Amino acid sequence: MTNENQYILDDSIGQGTFSHTQKALISGSQQPVIIKTLAQTLRDRPEQEQFKQHFRNLARRLVRCKHPHLAKVVELFEEEGSPYIVYEFIPGTSLADRVEMEGSIPEAQALTFIRQVAAAVNALHEAGLHHLAIKPQNIIQRRDKEEVILVEFGLTCELNPNIKQTHANLLASGYAAPEQHDPEQSCSPATDIYALAATLYCLLVGNPPPPAPLLDRIPSSEWQQHLASCAPTVKNAILQGLIVDPLQRPQSVVQWLALLTPKPTPAPNKAVSSQKTSEKTVASPPSKPKTKPPAIAYQTATVPHASPKAKTHRPNSKPKFPLGALATVCAIAASAGMGFGFSLRFNSPSESGSSLWHLKQSFPPRSQESIPLPKPE
């Protein structure tokens, strides 16, 4: 690793037991950056070469791990036998400062921030890395944006047990998992999940939960009562993430994030209900006609009293009389009558007689016999 840029050192940001962090400017571009290296206390120890090699390996893996919510690595270099890693500087405010100024952060915004940080942590885990220093102080909100960046990283779990035990009191109180306080235990993704849950607790409540060594000794009601106003899913995710036993916590960031998402209430399946109704209708025998409801009977009874305008004209179901045939018959009858009249007019005999054609009718002499009438009863 060589130094490709010249840096103008600025203020020292942090001098810890394990690392030293300093702000600087790239000469020429004046781009602000953060330079991190091993703390002097580690470089003076007999295991310094072991620590340096671990730092180099960690830095190389961080270069390959890129995520929009992780600070970008600008460069790796060595100077006088010490490795350095250069990050981009994130202008903004730490969430710790926001909590101090505002007391707490609204739940919706806090969930947005913690999901962004969790996504960055998940990218680290997929690269085989652990952050080990998640806390509001290491989460920077960009200026005028609803976006946060996770900075820094921890070294403690990669150090030997003696050094871990000596400097255990320097761990972030309330955010470090129980296994970080125990030099005989190793770290895992569940270690970062503990810190994510503790960070979310702080954003919502205004202060971190009790330190891990005391968490199971303090009545849970004393610190869990501050989560009463939170959504049930949020409270459950925090409590699941703060379980003392790392094996009982969610074992991946994806599992923990799933706890934050409320499960949708299944809506009644109308299609299935309709199908079941149809099946029931087909399977059942035909039912008898139901009695008409009273409303229909009432309407039927009132029909005779309705006004003429309201009457319903129904089409006559009887066959219509053949008017054309009737007209033809009348015409034939009229013609026959006229012919008969003309026949009488011009062919009638002049003398009297008893036939139909004589104009003057003569009848036989009337009989003088009397016809007896029936007597009335």
DSSP letters, 270-328, are HHHHHHHHHHHHHHSPPPPPPPPPHHHHHHHHHGGGS-GGG---PPP-SPPP-HHHHHH
Residue closest to 187 by CA, chosen among 138, 150, 153: 153
Does 36 count as an annotated binding residue? Answer: yes
Two tokens at 116?
């962004």
Side-by-side strand order, sheet with 7-15: 7-15, 19-26, 32-38, 82-88, 73-79
The answer to whether residues 113 and 121 touch, using CB atoms and an 8 Å cutoff, is no
Tell me how far apart the alpha carbons of residues 281 and 291 are, in angstroms, rounded to a whole number. 19
Q: What is the dihedral of CA 361, 364, 367, 368, to 10 degrees?
A: 80
State whether residue 360 is helix, strand or coil.
coil
Helix intervals (H) in 172-269: 178-181, 189-205, 212-215, 220-224, 232-241, 253-260
Query: Quick one: how far is CA 332 from the chain centroid?
Result: 89
The answer to whether residues 19 and 155 touch, using CB atoms and an 8 Å cutoff, is yes
Two tokens at 90?
């994130």
Report the binding-site residues: 36
Q: Which residues are annotated as a binding site for ATP?
A: 36
